Structures are given as structure tokens and as C-alpha cells.
Amino acid sequence: MPLRTLNIPANFSKLLAKFPESGMGYQWVKVILKNGAIFPKHKVLNSSILVLEETDHFSELDILTIELEK
Amino acid sequence: MLYRLSKPTQAELLLQPESGMGYQLILANTKGGYQRKEYYLILNTELAIPIDRISNRITLERIMRESTYTNKNIQSISLTDIALDDKKSPLPLVNEFLFSKKQAARKNHPEPANGIERFIRLSAYNNDFRIDRANKRLLPGSYATTEIDYLLCRKNNDDPVERYALPNDYKIKYGFIIQPKSGDSLQRGIVEPANEKQGGGAEVYFEKGTSIGTFIQDFPYE
């Protein structure tokens, strides 16, 4: 199955780069969409590339905010 | 001082378990000549370093760098009466390298960098966002591995994605050399299993990042 990814808008990238990594080169995040939908436990690579799961169907324009998973 | 182990010695070592990922710590006699039991750090059952020749971490890094990157002839050695040493070695440096910090870096106490030791950050991206190229530093909250562990990984042809428990989606293409300044804070540990990978490599966490001018250079990982 080819990898599905989304380039995160630059403002969120800059924010994520200020937060700690979960491991070398990646962070676990929660994505919150403008319609209220929440997508927990997603990986972001290099603070800029969101790895999508099979059932994820949204674009970068749908993203309200991205938070680091605790 | 570095030795290449003879084939019979290598065969015997392969029958013994590892002390850790990619290395064994043994007590053995040298075959022939004056016999004296010594502790050896064995790398990939192929190379032997007498532990009493390792005076500090920098010496160990230099020896391992030379063993990986040069083709100069290395003296061969055969060992006998090999015993795996599962107790702490007499050398504090090797203890620190091999036996301490057996959990994730962030669970261990911070310590100051010595200004000489180097660390390697591996990445799929040349524009790794954790490398502040303008100020030549590593950003706060970033991970790397020790140069020693990186060299062990290369020497043993280990998969870094497995060793450092990186996401499946990752293919390492670049390395970044970081040399923190004396006093930069870091936490050492071992990569715990994650992302369906076993981990086990050394990891270092820089909660506050590193000082300006500590990013030395990047290199392609092939």
C-alpha cells in the first residue's frame, strides 16, 4: 500500500519544530479539523509531513490545529 | 589498538551470545607468545579492542572511526579460553558505554556534554527541521545517537530504522554531525521498542538543544 502523506501548512510546521520530538525525526500528534473531527495518534515526519491512515480523508485546508500527543 | 580476529576465533565467538547489539565483552588469552588474560571489546565478532587501551570515550570513538573508514592492514590475533563477561568491566568508560542507561533517554538524568564528543542525527530529509542551519545548532527537544553507536550500526550493517525504532515510512538518507559545546545538557539512554521496531540503539536527547556553532556538517547516508 503506497504511503499517503500530507504536507502540513508552514505555520503548523514551525510550531511543531518548537515542540519536542517523540523519537529521532518524528512526532506523535493529534489533528483537529475545522469541522471538529479529531484524529489522534498520527505521525508527523520532519515536523512537516503528516502520515495519513487509510481512512483519513481531509486536506491541509481542513486542519484547524495540530497538537503534540502527550 | 585494534586487532582483527582470526577465523577460528570468530567462529568461536559466534557461538557465544552478544553482550549488547553488535558487541561482546569477553575475557580471553591471546594464543601463542606471552599469555595474559585481558578484557576485550569485540565488535561484530570481527574486531577486538583491548579494554585497558581505551583511556576515554574519545579514544574509543577514534578507534571505531578508523576501523570503519580505513582499509589499512590491521594486525590479526587469535584468542583462547574465551569467556563472556556479564559482569561490569574494570574500566568505568566501558561500563558507561555498555551497561548504564538501560532505558529511554528522557527517563535518565541530564549530564553536561564534554565539548569533544560527537553525536549523529540521522534523517530522511536534507532540510531536517531540527537542524538550525542559520545558527548551526540542534533545536531543543531533538534526538540523536552517539557517534559510537552510529559506527556500530554501520559496521554491523544494522538497519537504522530498526535500531532506532523509527517509523516504517522512514528511509535514512542523511546524517548530521553534532558536537555540543562543553556544558550543553544531554540525556543518554537506549531506544525502547516503538513503531513495531525493537530499538536497542543508543539515543541522546537534547531538551535544550545545542549551542550555536555545534552543527558541524551533514553527509549522505549510503
pLDDT at B89 over 80: no
Residue numbers of A between 6 and 35 with CB closer than 8 Å to B = 13, 16-21, 23-26
Of A24, A46, A47, the CB nearest to B144: A24
Cross-chain residue pair A26–B170, CB shorter than 8 Å: yes
Instruction: Assess contact for A29 and A16: CB atoms under 8 A.
Output: yes
Burial B3-41 (b: 16+ CB within 10 A, else e): bebeeebbebbeeeeebebbbbbbbbbbeeeeeeebbbb
Would you state the pLDDT for residue B71? 47
CA distance A35 to chain B (A): 28
Q: What is the mean pLDDT of residues A19-33?
A: 95
Residues of A in contact with B143 (CB under 8 A): 21, 23-25
What pLDDT does residue B90 have? 47
pLDDT digit string, tens, across residues B13-64: 888 887 766 678 888 988 775 667 888 888 778 788 887 777 666 677 667 6
What is the structure's pLDDT at B73? 64
Give tens-digit pLDDT for B105-121.
998 889 999 888 899 99
pLDDT at B130: 94
Closest CB to A19 among B141, B145, B166: B141
For the stretch A2-11, pLDDT in tens is: 678 999 999 9
% of chain A residues with pLDDT over 70: 97
Question: Cβ of A25 and B123 within 8 Å?
Answer: yes
User: With 90 as the cut, is the pLDDT of residue B91 above it?
Assistant: no
Mean pLDDT, rounded, for A51-68: 93
Mean pLDDT of B187-199: 90
pLDDT tens digits, one per residue of B126-138 = 999 999 999 999 9
B129 to A24: CB separation less than 8 angstroms, yes or no: no
CA angle B65, B68, B71 (to 5 degrees): 115
Cα angle for residues A44, B215, B55 (degrees, 5° grid): 115
Residue with cell 592492514: B73
* Residue in the structure block whose three cell numbers are 469541522: A35
pLDDT in tens, B196-222: 888 989 999 999 999 999 999 999 998
Long-range contacts of B27-30 (CB under 8 A, 24+ apart): B27/B82, B27/B83, B27/B85, B28/B79, B28/B80, B28/B81, B28/B82, B28/B83, B29/B79, B29/B80, B29/B81, B30/B77, B30/B78, B30/B79, B30/B80
Quote the mean pLDDT of chain B: 83
Q: Is the pLDDT of residue B68 over 70?
A: no
Contact flag B141-A26 (C-beta cutoff 8 Å)? no
Indicate the pairing of strand B3-5 with strand B76-77: parallel
Contact B203 A18 (CB under 8 A): no
Q: What pLDDT sits at residue B99?
A: 47
Which chain B positions have a beta carbon within 8 Å of A20's beta carbon?
140-142, 207
Sort B2 into a burial class: Cβ within 10 Å, 0-12 / 13-18 / 19+.
middle
Q: Do B139 and A51 touch (CB under 8 A)?
A: no
Q: What chain A residue is nearest to B206 in terms of C-alpha separation?
A: A20
Complex ipTM, two decimals?
0.86
Percent pLDDT > 90 in chain B is 36
Residues of B in contact with A45 (CB under 8 A): 124-125, 167, 169-170
